[in-house]
Amino acid sequence: MTRLVLGLLAASTAALAGCSGCSRDQAMPSAAASASASASASAAPAAMVAETLPRCRIDGARLALPGDDVVAGEAVLGPDALYLGVVRREGTKRLAGVVRASLDLSGLKMIELGPALGDDPPPTPRLRGKAPFVTSFARRASGDAGAGAGADAGAGSMGSTRRLDIARVDGTTLVNEGSIVQQADESLAYDIAWPEADAAGAGIVAWDEDAPPDVAAALGDRGIVKVQLLGAGTKARVASPEKSDAEAPRLLARPGGYWLAWLARRAEAAEDAGPSGNAEGPGERRAYRWVELVALDAKGEATSPVRRISPEKGRVASFDLVRTGGPTDAQVVVLVQDEAAHAEGSGERMVRYVTDGDKVDAADLLDGGIGHALADLLPPTGANRWLAFVDTQEHAHLVPLGPTLRIAGANTTEPALDGARVLGTAPPDVVYAVGSAGTAEVAGGRVELRRLVCR
Which of the residue ranges 163-172, 241-250, 321-330, 397-406 would you say has the lowest mean pLDDT? 321-330
Residue 156 has pLDDT above 90, yes or no: no
| CATH code, domain with 252 | 2.130.10.120
Which of the residue ranges 145-154, 228-237, 397-406, 415-424 would you say has the lowest mean pLDDT? 145-154
227-246 as b/e: b if 16+ CB within 10 A: bbbbeeebebebbbeeebbb
Residue type, 22: C
Average model confidence (pLDDT) across the chain: 81
Element (H, E) at 412: strand 412-413
DSSP string over 195-215: -STT-----EEEEEEEPPHHH
**In Å, what is the CA distance from 68 to each residue of 124, 283, 323, 441?**
19, 35, 39, 9
User: Does the residue 3 lie in any domain?
Assistant: no
Q: Rounded to whole angstroms, how far apart are CA atoms 113 and 161?
A: 19
Which of the four pLDDT bands, split at 50, 70 and 90, describes residue 16?
very low
Which of the four pLDDT bands, split at 50, 70 and 90, describes residue 232?
confident
* pLDDT, tens digit (0-9, with 9 covering 90-100), for 83-121: 999 999 999 999 999 999 999 999 999 999 999 977 788
User: Does the residue 34 lie in any domain?
Assistant: no
**What total of structural domains would you count in the chain?**
1
Peptide bond just before 428 cis, omega within 30 deg: yes
Which of the residue ranges 74-88, 150-164, 214-228 would you say has the lowest mean pLDDT? 150-164
**In Å, what is the CA distance from 412 to each residue of 22, 81, 395, 398?**
16, 28, 10, 6
**In Å, what is the CA distance from 197 to each residue of 127, 151, 363?**
12, 28, 30
**In Å, what is the CA distance from 52 to each residue of 31, 92, 398, 425, 432?**
20, 48, 12, 22, 22
Euclidean distance between the first and final Cα of the chain, in Å?
A: 20
Residues in the chain, how many?
455
Which of the four pLDDT bands, split at 50, 70 and 90, describes residue 315?
very high
Q: Rounded to whole angstroms, how far apart are CA atoms 225 and 190?
A: 9
CA–chain centroid gap for 11, Å, is: 5
**Selection from 206, 192, 177 nearest residue 74 by Cα:** 192
Which of the residue ranges 16-20, 324-328, 337-341 would you say has the lowest mean pLDDT? 16-20
Strands (E) located in 120-279? 124-128, 131-139, 161-170, 173-183, 190-193, 204-210, 223-229, 237-238, 246-254, 257-267
User: Does the residue 295 lie in any domain?
Assistant: yes
Q: Rounded to whole angstroms, how far apart are CA atoms 226 and 239?
A: 5
User: Does the residue 364 lie in any domain?
Assistant: yes
Residue 221 has pLDDT above 90, yes or no: no
**Selection from 190, 317, 304 nearest residue 251 by Cα:** 190
Residue 42 has pLDDT above 50, yes or no: no
pLDDT at 366: 93
User: Does the residue 200 lie in any domain?
Assistant: yes
Strands (E) located in 302-384? 307-308, 316-324, 331-338, 348-356, 359-370, 376-377
User: Does the residue 6 lie in any domain?
Assistant: no
Residue type, 249: P
Which of the residue ranges 98-112, 134-148, 225-239 would you say has the lowest mean pLDDT? 134-148
pLDDT at 434: 95
Residues 322-333, mean pLDDT to the nearest whole number: 80
Largest separation between any pair of C-alpha atoms in the chain: 79
Residues 296-300, mean pLDDT to the nearest whole number: 94
Residue pair 137/117 in contact (Cβ under 8 Å)? The answer is yes
pLDDT at 299: 92
User: Does the residue 38 lie in any domain?
Assistant: no
Which of the four pLDDT bands, split at 50, 70 and 90, describes residue 135?
very high
Q: Which range marks the domain in which residue 265 is found?
A: 24-29+54-454
Residues 6+ apart with CB under 8 A from 432: 75, 77, 82, 422, 423, 424, 425, 426, 449, 450, 451, 452
User: Does the residue 10 lie in any domain?
Assistant: no
Residue pair 181/263 in contact (Cβ under 8 Å)? The answer is no
Residue pair 314/290 in contact (Cβ under 8 Å)? The answer is yes
